[in-house]
Amino acid sequence: MSSNVLIKYVNKFKNLRVDKAHGAAPNKPVLLLAILELIEQGQIRENKIPSSPSLFEIFMKYWSIVTDRRPNLALPFFHLKSEGFWHHHANAGYETALRVTTQIKTVSRLREIIAHASLDGELFTLLTIVSVVRQVCDVRWKIEQFHLSSAAYCSQSHRCCVSGVDASDA
């Protein structure tokens, strides 16, 4: 996978369209964080993302950290389609309803119409790779902590998987 793919999606994530009517709404970023966590936990193993109770639970965990606004999973789940990398898949018999629907405001209506969403294939692959790398780095760090007595060594050699920067480079 080329670095252009990574840059493409980093830019898309940085430039998410958010509702600014009452201040910037964190709905889409919070949903993406919840999806990342489910991928890391192994709860999402294929490129099918349902509006499941576990997605809602993790969405709520992040939501409560970033805002005290009223949460609504249906809004970002539906409106992420405008970003171009998120795709809806209708429940059987609801293909036309999905095609003509411009807004879904409730989770029950969302589940009635949409079976699941998917990401661009290359984005899903990228997120699963990032998840694996993060898990490997975490294991490495735990091994270093357990087997090496020098805390200084551990803190200097622990690689930050998210930014790709060694502590020793700082």
Stated pTM of the model: 0.77
Is 15 exposed, middle or buried, given 0-12, 13-18 or 19+ CB atoms closer than 10 A?
exposed
Q: What is the pLDDT of residues 49-71, one digit of tens each?
A: 999 999 999 999 999 998 888 89
Cα Rg, the chain, nearest whole Å: 19
Q: Which residue has the tokens 């576990």?
A: 54
More confident residue, 132 or 96: 96
Whether the pLDDT of residue 158 is over 50: the answer is: no
Q: Treating both helix axes as pointing N-terminal to C-terminal, what angle do 121-147 and 3-14 enclose, rounded to 10 degrees?
A: 100
Domain range list for the chain: 3-119, 127-169
Both tokens assigned to 134: 């993060």
| Residues contacting 87, CB < 8 A, separation 6+ | 81, 117, 118, 119, 120
